[in-house]
Structures are given as C-alpha cells and as structure tokens.
Chains A and B, each alone.
Chain A
Amino acid sequence: MISYMDLIQNCFYSSTKWSWDNTYEHILETPRNLLHFQIPNGFSIIASNRNTKFNYSSINISQIERLEGSLSYLSTSTDLDKYYKPSSTLALNNILQGYRNITKEISHGDTIDHKPFLLYGKIYFPSQFIEGMIIKRFTPNHQLIVKFVNTPKLNKLTQTTSIFTFYLQRQTENSSHDFIYSTREALFGFRCLYHFNLDNSPSTFPINKSTYISSKIRKNYTEMNPSTLSLGCELWYSVGSVSPGVSIASRYTTYIDTMRYLTKSLPSVYSNLNPIKSIQSIPYAISCIHPLTFTFAVNPLLGTFESTYAIRSDAYFKTNSINDPENSQNKLSSYIAKMGIVLSSKYQFNIYSYDSDLIVGAQILRSKLSEVKQNDDERSATKSDTFDGIDKSPKITEDMPHIGKQNVVYKVSDKEYTESNNINLLDVSESFNDSIVGNKTKETNKALSEYKETADEDAYITSLKISGNITKQNMRVAWEGKFYDWFVSSGVSVDMKGLDSGPRILKYGVEFSYIA
C-alpha cells in the first residue's frame, strides 16, 4: 500500500496532468509491485485527514521494537477535490500497488494555468529525523522535486546527516528525461525514457476507435493504447565514492480488454427486437488475451540481465444457487463478484558470476460478493432479448435440474454486473446500450470512460499477493484489503531454508490506515 504522501502526490499529478508512469524510475513498477512488494513492519496505525482544501496531515504510530511514530504535513496549491476521496469512498486500487495499466496523460493548454506546487514535511519520533519534499511545476512539461532528510545530533557519538536530492524532470507525450543530483557523495544521475505506440491490430477493436467517439472528445480522457513499447536508460556516477552505474531497460505492455475484443471478433447476430448486440455471458470462457507487461533490463557494467513477465486477467463471476428454504418464493438467487488474478515471474542472470534467480508471484483480487435479485421473468426476458449462440448456461442449468443449481460459476458481462451491482454513477445500462446503438453524447462517453475505469477497478476490496524466490527460498505473503472504512495491510516474509529449525519468519506486520 502506498503511503499517504504518495496518495496525495498521485492526486496532485492527476489533477495537474502529470503522468506518474512516464518516467524511467517507474518503468519496472509492475514487476516490483508484484514480486518485491513491501511488507509492513510491526504494528502500525495511520490516520490521515484533509484539514482544509489545501492542507493535509497524517500521523503514524507504530510498534516495531519500541513505540515509534511520525507526523507529516502536506500542502498543495491546487484543489484536489476531484481526485481525493476519504477512505469511505476511496477504492482500494488507488492505494493498492499492483499491476499498472500504463495510461498516458495528455496535457494541453488550458488545464493548467498556474504553477502548482506541493509541500511535504515529516518528522519521526523519537529519532527526530526530518524529511521533506517540494514539488514545483514551472512549465507544463517541467518539474523540479527537491527531497531532503536531516538527522539531528542527539548525543556526542552521532553525526548529523543532511542529504539533499534534486530531480529535474521533463515530460512529453512520448519521452521523459530526469536529471538527478544528490549531495551525498555528489551523485549525478541521468534518466531518459521513450515510448513507442505499436498498433499491432487493425482499427477494429481498439476501444478508442469506436464509432461513437469523436475526435475532439477523444482528447479529453485517458487513452489506453493497445500496446506500448518503452525504452529507457539511466546513467549514474558518484564522485565522492567513485561509483558508476548504468542500466538499460525496456518494457512492452499491452492493454486489451477481453470483453471488447470478444465483442468485436466473435460472431454476433443482431436481432430485430433489440438491436443491442451484446454478449451476455460466456460460460467456460477461455479468454486468452489479457493485458500483459513484459520487461527486460540489463546492467552492462555488472553483466546482469533481468526479465519479467506479468499478465492480468479479471472477470466477473456469477454463481447460481438455490435459495434458502426459508424463502418462500424459491427463486434462483445468484451471487456475482469480480475476481482478478495477476501472475508474474522474473528471471535474473549474471554473465560474470553466473548467479541466477527466479521469482514467481501472484496476486488475487476479489470484490464484494453481491446478490443478484432476479426473478425468473426478468431472466427469461433478458434471455430472449438477445440471441447469442454462446449464451447457453442459464439454459443448461434450467434444463438440467438434476445437475444441481448450486455451483455453476461462469463469467458475466459488464452489463449484467453493473445491473446487479447498481453502480451509482449514471444510468449506465441505458447509456451503454445507447452508445452501442449509436447515440452519442459527451456525457455518456465520459460516463462510459469513467464507468469503465471505476467499474473495472473499483470493485476490488481485497488483494492477496504471494511471491517466492526460488534460489534464496524466501516467500512473501501480503494481504491487503478494505475493511469498512479502514485499509488494512498485513504481510509476512518467511525464509524457507532457514537455519536448522526450518522456516523462519523474517518480517511481519499489520498496518491500519484511515483517511478522512
């Protein structure tokens, strides 16, 4: 889970149209989040609050070996209303670190008319360390970040440490450059990153090429390109300790929405009654196209290769089960939920020392289980509305009562999910249908995009991450979730080969976070 400072920084970037992912620093963010995720240490409670429109504060109390804590203050110059939500309405995916869909923020003239800044300061107790950050945007494409830490002299033995780091960043649509300077041992760094859009498919199925979207509106919201190749490199040199460092990395990421793909490519029939063309449910669907991220990084100085692969799949699932005998109506009640799974792996190899490493990880996301209250009439009506050769499962379960109506799980479409979940954005179902047919309005399109985002991502409330290192025989498990208004994060790191006594717990912790 990201810290409160990172959350505010994200909201700041979103509201000022700065891309979080468009920097070399975050090129390997997806595999890092899935394989080298952080585990909280000890027991800690974080309470955060938006004091005023521009002021935020957070306090953290934790028990690691002894009672510790920290207090932080943030201040921005822009209003983060649109993006900042308290934890009661904040979705887990904003806090959760996981598979990142690479979005590209497109900035244009009229959105930013001032030079926003963000101030951050934190003090730790009892060690009295101070850290702070200033982010200043002085052109739409240029930004300066200054980070500093200071450790005080508590007794005669300790030395004060004061480190400043300057990041000068420049971002455009297809590239990004960073210049870094740190006062500690005079470290100089340079990073650059370039993106290439690879449209490897005809214009039929990318979502932004649908007929209902006009070109003007297209620029107003985020695009998700089907595939992107990013290439970048970094150069470091520390003058004080004469340490050079070089690395080159590339990332190939695709985003293909399974449902849309299948909608477009599978045969469908328009019926006269209802010109809606939709796929209701695909039982036993083997969706073989999922968003994936493939990265490859090299350190030519030390001769290390690192390649990772991550793939994500999520779908809605519906179960049919016989109702309780108490219910007199004895109708079929079904539960619908969304589940996502992300699998990733990483392979490392060093050509000089022949050290190799294999790490595999998985993330399982689950949403709330919500009951679908349908009566048989409605179901049959919806059934008859559509003619779809694929939609067979309700028929199957009804025709074959002897199989048992309990545990058939099958995927459902977005439409059915949103219908049953009563997502309260707009009248989504109708707007969805309208848009398919061809009625296009700016609002619906916006609603569509927003709906898509939120419906896709906001659904999850729990996430379980597992990652195991094969050669070092470490295993990390992290469970994160939203529990009423609290975000809970817990984790444990186990050393499987241990000493003589078997598995040994290296690190464990629980963290509770509340955002007001």
Chain B
Amino acid sequence: MSFKLNWNAIEKDSFSTYTKELLEEALNSGKRPSILSDEIKIIELNFGTIAPNFQILEIGDLGVDKFRGIFQFKYYGDAFITVKTKISASLLKNYNNNIDEKLEFIKPKFIVSDCDFDIPLNLTLSNFQMSSIIIIVFSKSKGLTLVFKNDPLENIDVNSTFDKITPIANFLQKKIESQISDIFKEFLPSLLYKFSLKYTTQSFDQFHKDLLIEEQEDDFNKRKNKILLKELDPENPFRISPGSLMRSTRLSSIRQTLSLGNGIDKLSCDRFNKNIITKAYLNIIINNSNNFSNYNRIDLNEEDFNYGDINDKLGFIKNFQNKAFLKTSNHKPKRRVIKMNVKKKEINESAIIDEEEAVEDNIKSIPMNNSESMSRRLSRRQSSIPSSTSSRRPSTIKRTLQTNEAIKLTTGTSTNDTTNPDEKEIRRRVAKLDRLVEQRKRRLNNNNNNNNNNNNNNNNVVTAPPPYSL
C-alpha cells in the first residue's frame, strides 16, 4: 500500500522558514570545527516538486493517538540546499587551532604568520537519491520518531565555489558523502521530532481540521458527487464507529471483488464504476423491457382463456413449481384447493372488493412450508388467483395477468364445463373484477407514462432505484 503525498503543502512559507531555522540551529550547534571560521548559514532550501515515496511494509501498533509502522522510503527528487560559510585558509592558524585550547602553553606564538585568511564557501547539495527502510513511531504525546534502518544515501551531487579546483572538489565530494549519511541518520529524526512536537501535540484536532480544509479546497471540484466522512459528523470527522466502519469496508471491498450485489438486491449498478451491473439491476431491466419479456415468463392472457391453452400453461407452471419445490424438500407441495360448486360460500359483489383481503387472509391461513420464499408465496397466490392486481414488489410494476374465466385451482381439475348457471354467475363476477383490475392498471400505466415522459426515457427502461449513498 503506498501513499500519495501532497508535497506542495511543504512549500508553504511558514513551514520552510521554520525548517530553515531548525536546520541552521542544528548545523551550528556544538563545537564548530576549526576549519570553519564563520557560522553556517542556509541560503536556500528547496524541497523540490517530487514527493518521496512511502510504502507500508508493516504496521505494528495502531491506536487513536499512536502509530508505529515500518515503511520503505524512496526519494528520487529535485530538492536542494545551499549553505554558505567561511573556510579558514591560514595554515598556521589552523595548526594552532587544532591543538586543544587548554594546551596554550605549547602553542607557538606566531607573529602575523597566523593571521586570519578566510575564503567564503558556497555549497550546494542537490540531486538526492535515497532509498531506505524506516521505522516511524508516532505518539500524540511524544511526537514523531523516525529511524533509518540502513544507510539511505545512494547519490548526492556536491557543487561548491571550489568546483574549478578539482582536488578540492573531489575532496569535498568524498567528505560530504561520508558525512551526509550520518547526518541523515542523526539529524533528520531530530528535526522531524521537533517539527512534530510543534505541529501535533499542541493542537491535534486543529491539525486534522487543517488537513481536511486543505483537502477540501484542493479537491472540491472532483468531489461534487461524493459525500465525505466529515459531512456525517463535522465535529469528529474521523470518529467512526466500528460497526459502520465494518459496514463501509464491507461495501467497498465488495466493489473490489467479483461478486455483484450479492444478497443486497437493492443495490443497483455501481455508481463509481459504471462497468459493473449487479444482478438485481439486470433483473429489473429485463423484467421491464418488452423485448425480453417472453424469455422468462409465462403470460396468461385473454386468448389463452378463450382458446383453451390455459390448461397447458398452468400445467407448465405447476410442473416448474413442483420441480423447484422438490429440490429443497422431500414431500409433495401442498396446494390449496378451492372447490367449485360449493354452496356454502356465496360470492357477492361486496366480497369482490374485499377479495384481496380475503386472499390475504387465505394466504395467511395457508399452512406454508417455511422454506418457501416470498416470491414463491406470491407466485402461488398468483397461480391461485391469476387476477392479481399490482404486484407486492414495491419497486416494480408488473403487467398483470388478465383472466376472464373462473379460476381452476386444483391441479387436476378440468375447466371445461361452462353450462352451469353458477358458473355463469361466477364468470360475470370475474369479468367485472377484471374490468376493475384493468381500470386500475390503465391508471397506473398512465402515471408511469407520465413519469417516463418527464424523464425523457424510454417507456420500458426502468429508472434506477435510489442508490445507497456511502
């Protein structure tokens, strides 16, 4: 896992001046080597445009206010630093200065032979190439500690005012190469430690807020459609409960895997990746398009009732359902039987309107196998009363089955006798029922058409369900 670093943030003035001061103080601390006759001043410190590359190798300890990890650190960038100092070129003065200052007694007293003679030196270090394994330990109270596991420096370019004098230039290059890795190992961690103490322990929350504000400013245009975590809870933007963290990780990991909307049938196509279509969405599309309607459905339409195909189709449906049922259980499916020509029950007008409720009651009173799903219940209900109105599925609109004839409900009963006056009565009632159903359906279709016209969509293309937002 790697990081993307916003390296431009480092170019801020306050940060770079603070770093310059820290660096100058560190370079001039301690006893100055006798060859330098002036303090070291930083003329320019430029962090370059290329950010270093961090890669997590291992995370050891992770908490709200502490963190420990092993990273691989690579930097092949264009940062450079220019320092200025003065070199003492008075040889006998250096001779005297190299003797310990407590040994004044033995120092020869030169008369003007050890006068000051300083040569200014401008030194530029550039083209750093570094690669190393680092361990970072961060705690809110103690700041940031960084340790280089191995020597980071692969290359460094040294330019100075002595470049034209090759022996001195070579000497400087060798000397600095040997010293700079020590400096990195010792000095950079302490610099970062001080820096971290300054910026984090004082106002940890403020630091986070500043970071978020920066991010928002930068990516505002890119993130129009996304909702950021901080919008959920502006006060504690990174405070997220473990449960919701798990849910959102599950969601996002699902996007990365091959399973499509597994078990989450409300999820339609992935908004972030338009190439993925979930199964649920596909089903919706198919179900609502006219072209594909013949593939998975058996429609019982009016002609079937007129010309007698209804029996075959019902038989087909019955066989299909039996097969599906028998896959999961061992006994025969229990089918509800409605006996015709029963004198007990009288069908009257008022009962038609309540029929749905009666059907519901019937459904409730049906002893059902627990393994049947809702869809099967519905399909059973549909097979028992083919004249169902709108579907129980809230988001889909199905074409309703239309029947004109009485329902033949038992599996084996034939439906061919029509001369019974009761049956005529039944038929009349059923026809009236159908008319009601048809009216309702027409109304709904009109609404649907209106909606479709408003959306400039094809009538048959279903709109996407409202998405889950993350």
Beta-carbon contact of A25 and B112 below 8 Å: no
Q: In the complex, which residues of chain A have a beta carbon less than 8 angstroms from the beta carbon of B114?
A: 245
Beta-carbon contact of A129 and B103 below 8 Å: yes
- Judge whether A184 is part of the interface by a CB distance below 8 angstroms: yes
Beta-carbon contact of B106 and A165 below 8 Å: yes
What secondary structure prevails in chain A residues at the interface with B?
A: strand
Known contacts A161-B100, A163-B106, A165-B106: does B111 contact A25 (CB below 8 Å)?
yes
**Scoring B residues 81 to 99 as 1 if CB is less than 8 Å from chain A, else 0, what string do you get?**
0000000011110110001
- Judge whether B105 is part of the interface by a CB distance below 8 angstroms: yes
The residue on B at minimum CB distance from A165 is B106
Beta-carbon contact of B108 and A298 below 8 Å: no
Q: Which of B94, B115, B116, B118 has the most CB of A within 10 A?
A: B115
How many B residues are at the interface, by size bracket? 20 to 34
Beta-carbon contact of A249 and B102 below 8 Å: no
Known contacts A124-B102, A353-B117: does B112 contact A304 (CB below 8 Å)?
yes
The residue on B at minimum CB distance from A232 is B111
Taken together as a complex, chains A and B put the C-alpha atoms of A234 and B109 apart, in Å, by 11
The residue on B at minimum CB distance from A167 is B108
Which residues of chain A from 118 to 151 have any CB-CB distance to chain B below 8 Å in the complex? 122, 124, 127, 129, 131, 133, 147-149, 151
- Judge whether A477 is part of the interface by a CB distance below 8 angstroms: no
What secondary structure prevails in chain B residues at the interface with A?
A: loop
Beta-carbon contact of B91 and A243 below 8 Å: yes
Which residues of chain A from 426 to 479 have any CB-CB distance to chain B below 8 Å in the complex? none
For B112, give its contact among A127, A180, A182, A298 (CB under 8 Å): A298
Known contacts A161-B100, A238-B95, A302-B90: does B113 contact A245 (CB below 8 Å)?
yes
Beta-carbon contact of A299 and B95 below 8 Å: no
Q: In the complex, which residues of chain B have a beta carbon less than 8 angstroms from the beta carbon of A399?
A: none
- Judge whether A15 is part of the interface by a CB distance below 8 angstroms: no
Beta-carbon contact of A127 and B102 below 8 Å: yes
- Judge whether A418 is part of the interface by a CB distance below 8 angstroms: no
- Judge whether A355 is part of the interface by a CB distance below 8 angstroms: yes
- A385 CB to closest chain B CB (Å) equals 52
- Judge whether A297 is part of the interface by a CB distance below 8 angstroms: yes
Q: In the complex, which residues of chain B have a beta carbon less than 8 angstroms from the beta carbon of A234?
A: 110-111, 113
Beta-carbon contact of A350 and B111 below 8 Å: no
Q: Which of B99, B113, B114, B118 has the most CB of A within 10 A?
A: B113
Taken together as a complex, chains A and B put the C-alpha atoms of A228 and B116 apart, in Å, by 29
For B92, give its contact among A24, A238, A348 (CB under 8 Å): A238
How many A residues are at the interface, by size bracket? 35 or more
Beta-carbon contact of B91 and A184 below 8 Å: no
**Scoring A residues 150 to 189 as 1 if CB is less than 8 Å from chain B, else 0, what string do you get?**
0100000000010101000000000000001010110101
Beta-carbon contact of A184 and B99 below 8 Å: yes
- B428 CB to closest chain A CB (Å) equals 108
Taken together as a complex, chains A and B put the C-alpha atoms of A247 and B118 apart, in Å, by 18
Beta-carbon contact of A299 and B115 below 8 Å: yes
Taken together as a complex, chains A and B put the C-alpha atoms of A244 and B100 apart, in Å, by 21
Which residues of chain B from 284 to 304 have any CB-CB distance to chain A below 8 Å in the complex? none
- Judge whether B240 is part of the interface by a CB distance below 8 angstroms: no
The residue on A at minimum CB distance from B99 is A184
Which residues of chain B from 249 to 296 have any CB-CB distance to chain A below 8 Å in the complex? none
**Scoring A residues 231 to 248 as 1 if CB is less than 8 Å from chain B, else 0, what string do you get?**
000101010010111110
Q: List 11 A-B contacts (CB under 8 A).
A: A28-B111, A147-B106, A149-B103, A234-B113, A245-B92, A245-B114, A299-B115, A302-B90, A302-B115, A348-B115, A350-B115
A residues lining the B interface (CB < 8 Å): 24-25, 27-28, 122, 124, 127, 129, 131, 133, 147-149, 151, 161, 163, 165, 180, 182, 184-185, 187, 189, 234, 236, 238, 241, 243-247, 249, 297-299, 302, 304, 306, 348, 350, 352-353, 355
